[in-house]
């Protein structure tokens, strides 16, 4: 499975090396021989209904069966995902508090002062999935193609809004890249997560959004939103009639979100290995694969070391994108 990619100028492809995790944690360090012996909490740093939440609700029931314990999903939105992430950072390194994470984990350090280090303070376990970002509009919006939308935006600079899951969310960054690639001026409207943004788009409060297919596939099929383009090199098998941005006349729009599982820093290696192995088995299950495919999601599995290398490169790359787009970090 190929790594998620984003088309940016060559200068943005620079990578940086980040030290291995060394964040001090409180609490006992279990041997993991009997792990797990009680329910596991999976913190999702967003509201219910987004892609991270949807993927977790596909995977976690089966993972719980494999581990012999219930996995409790705990949605903790706020602070562009930082509140939920901080909960995991402060948890004991015993494998009973985990984080469902995604691309904004690598974006947020460039946009706000965080109460933790997004690399040092977490243990990488595995990624699970990846999915292309898309452009949707309200069904009543006059543009039926990307070309028509660009023409409207250029005729009315600063008049069209696009909703996102918050400043620094992948749904925000995709919109910023569209502005750069299409040379249009559309206004960013941040929400606490992409789910309420999509709700407002369906209700006609905003005309445009850039969610992932996993978030809105059902809405597209039901006609509640109109899908204009997919930010990938190839059309989505789930919506083969919808063009890529390249085909729609906006080159350079290749953007994918990725999803993975992290734990607090210094999570014992035997626990990491157990979780990695069981997550890989679970994601490969036919039922999970079928539900992924129906949602426009692709499998993305790797080792803890591969996930860490990916997180390092994504952090460096998104820092370059933030700079190129001229996005100012939030003030404390």
User: What is the C-alpha separation between 35 and 156, in angstroms, rounded?
Assistant: 59
Lowest mean pLDDT among 13-22, 187-196, 211-220, 246-255: 13-22
Instruction: Output the CA angle 292-296-298, nearest 5 degrees.
Output: 60
Going by C-beta distance under 8 Å and a sequence separation of 6 or more, which residues neighbour residue 328?
none
Peptide bond into 36 cis (omega under 30): yes
Q: Residues 191-243: pLDDT tens digits?
A: 878 889 999 999 999 999 999 887 888 899 999 999 999 999 999 888 999 99
Going by C-beta distance under 8 Å and a sequence separation of 6 or more, which residues neighbour residue 221?
none
Burial of 140 (0-12, 13-18, 19+ CB in 10 A): exposed
Residue 324: per-residue pLDDT: 79
Residue 48: per-residue pLDDT: 87
Tokens of 111: 């946009």
Does position 92 have pLDDT exceeding 70, yes or no? Answer: yes
Spacing of C-alpha 280 from chain mean position: 19
Q: Residues 44-60: pLDDT tens digits?
A: 998 887 788 889 999 99
Residue 167: per-residue pLDDT: 82
Residue 310: per-residue pLDDT: 95
Question: Which whole number is the average pLDDT over 96-119?
Answer: 94
Q: Helix, strand, or coil here: 229?
A: strand
- DSSP structure string for 295-309: TT-EE----HHHHHH
Burial of 326 (0-12, 13-18, 19+ CB in 10 A): exposed
Give Cα separations from 114 to 45, 84, 262, 318 (angstroms): 14, 12, 17, 16
Does CATH place domain 10-130+258-325 in 3.40.190.150? yes
Lowest mean pLDDT among 24-28, 83-87, 268-272, 306-310: 24-28
Phi, psi of 227 (to 5 degrees): -90, 120
Centre a 10 Å sphere on the Cβ of residue 172 and count the other Cβ atoms it contains. Answer: 28
Q: Identify the CATH number of the domain defined by range 134-230.
A: 3.40.190.10
User: pLDDT above 70 covers what percent of the chain?
Assistant: 89
Question: Which pLDDT band, with edges at 50, 70 and 90, does 330 fall under?
Answer: low
Distance, first Cα to last Cα, the chain: 39
Does position 125 have pLDDT exceeding 80, yes or no? Answer: yes
Tokens of 259: 């999803």
Q: Where in the chain is the domain with CATH 3.40.190.10?
A: 134-230
Question: Which whole number is the average pLDDT over 156-182?
Answer: 92
Give Cα separations from 239 to 195, 221, 242 (angstroms): 21, 9, 6
Whether the Cβ atoms of residue 80 and residue 104 lie closer than 8 Å to each other: yes
Q: Residues 37-48: pLDDT tens digits?
A: 999 999 999 888
- DSSP single-letter state for residue 53: H
Does position 332 have pLDDT exceeding 60, yes or no? Answer: no
Burial of 113 (0-12, 13-18, 19+ CB in 10 A): exposed
Residue 254: per-residue pLDDT: 86
Q: Where in the chain is the domain with CATH 3.40.190.150?
A: 10-130+258-325
Centre a 10 Å sphere on the Cβ of residue 180 and count the other Cβ atoms it contains. Answer: 17
User: What is the C-alpha separation between 242 and 74, in angstroms, rounded?
Assistant: 35
Question: Which pLDDT band, with edges at 50, 70 and 90, does 325 fall under?
Answer: confident
Does position 276 have pLDDT exceeding 60, yes or no? Answer: yes
């Amino acid at each position: 499975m190929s790594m998620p990619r984003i088309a940016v100028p060559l200068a943005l492809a620079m990578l940086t090396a980040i030290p291995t995790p060394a964040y001090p944690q409180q609490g006992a360090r279990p041997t993991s021989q009997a792990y797990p012996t009680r329910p596991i909490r999976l913190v999702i740093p967003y509201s219910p209904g987004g892609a991270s939440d949807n993927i977790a609700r596909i995977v976690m029931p089966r993972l719980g069966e494999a581990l012999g314990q219930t996995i409790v999903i705990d949605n903790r939105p706020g602070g562009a995902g930082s509140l939920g992430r901080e909960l995991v950072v402060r948890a004991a390194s015993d494998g009973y508090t985990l984080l469902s994470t995604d691309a904004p984990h690598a974006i947020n350090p460039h946009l706000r002062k965080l109460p933790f280090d997004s690399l040092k303070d977490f243990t990488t376990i595995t990624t699970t999935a990846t999915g292309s970002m898309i452009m949707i509009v309200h069904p009543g919006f006059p543009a039926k193609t990307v070309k028509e939308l660009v023409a409207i935006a250029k005729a009315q600079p600063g008049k069209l809004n696009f909703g996102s899951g918050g400043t620094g969310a992948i749904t925000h960054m995709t919109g910023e890249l569209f502005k750069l690639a299409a040379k249009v001026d559309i206004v960013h409207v941040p929400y606490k997560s992409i789910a309420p943004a999509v709700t407002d788009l369906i209700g006609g409060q905003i005309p445009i959004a850039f969610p992932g297919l996993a978030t809105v596939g059902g809405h597209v099929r039901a006609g509640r939103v109109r899908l204009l383009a997919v930010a990938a090199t190839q059309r989505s098998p789930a919506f083969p009639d919808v063009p890529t941005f390249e085909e729609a006349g906006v080159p350079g729009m290749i953007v994918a979100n990725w999803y993975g599982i992290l734990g607090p820093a210094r999570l014992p290696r035997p626990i990491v290995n157990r979780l990695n192995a069981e997550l890989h088995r679970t994601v490969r299950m036919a039922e999970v694969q079928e539900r992924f495919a129906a949602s426009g999601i692709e499998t993305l599995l790797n080792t803890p070391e591969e996930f860490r290398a990916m997180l390092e490169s994504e952090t460096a790359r998104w820092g370059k994108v933030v700079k190129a787009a001229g996005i100012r970090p939030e003030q404390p």
